Structure 1
Amino acid sequence: MTDLLLIATLGFLGSFGHCLGMCGPLTVAFSLSNPGQSPTETSWPAKLRFNLLLNLGRILSYGLVGLCIGTIGSVLIAGGQLAGIGSGLRQGLAIVTGLLLIWFGLHQIQPTWLPKLPLLHPTLGKLHDRLNHLMFRLANISPIFLGLLWGLMPCGFLYAAQIKAAETGNPQLGAVTMMAFGIGTLPMMLGVGSSTTFLSRDRRSQLFRLGGWVTLAIGILTLTRNSDMVDYTGHSALGLLALTLIARPIAKLWSGPLQYRRALGVGAFILSIAHIAHTVSHTFEWNFTAWQFLLPSQQWGFLSGVMATVLLTPPAFTSFDQMVKALGNHWRTLHLLSIPAFLLVAVHALLLGSSYLGALTLSPNHWGRVVGLGLIVIGVMATRSRYSWKLVGQEKRYVKAKQSLIYQQRDRQPPCCND
Structure 2
Amino acid sequence: MERGGIPLFFMKIDPRAQDLDPMLVSGFFTAIQTFSKEVVDRSSSRFQVDYGARLFTVLTGKSTDLVAVSMGECEEEVVLTLTSLLEEFETVWIKDLTREEMDTLDLNTAFMEFREGILQNLSFRQILGSWIPFFVGTSVSSDKSKDSIVVPFIDGSRNVDAIITESGLNREDVTIEITRLWALGALQFRSILAVSDVVISTSKLDRLLQSSSPQRAELVRTNPDILAVLPRMSTLFDGRRTVGAITRFLSEQYSERALMQAFDFLMESKAIDVLSPEKRRILLTKEAMEIAIKVAENVYSEMKAYEYLEATLTKVAIPEVVGEVHLTNGKWEITYASRLHEGLDPRRLMELYADWVKLLAQFMGALDKTKIRAYAEELTDAYSSYLLKRYTADDLRGFEEISYWLELNCVRM
Which of the two has greater helix per residue? 1
TM normalised by structure 1 equals: 0.28
Structure number with higher strand proportion: 2
Q: Determine which structure has greater relative contact order: mean sequence separation of CA pairs < 8 Å that are 6+ residues apart, divided by chain length.
A: 1
TM-score by length of 2: 0.28
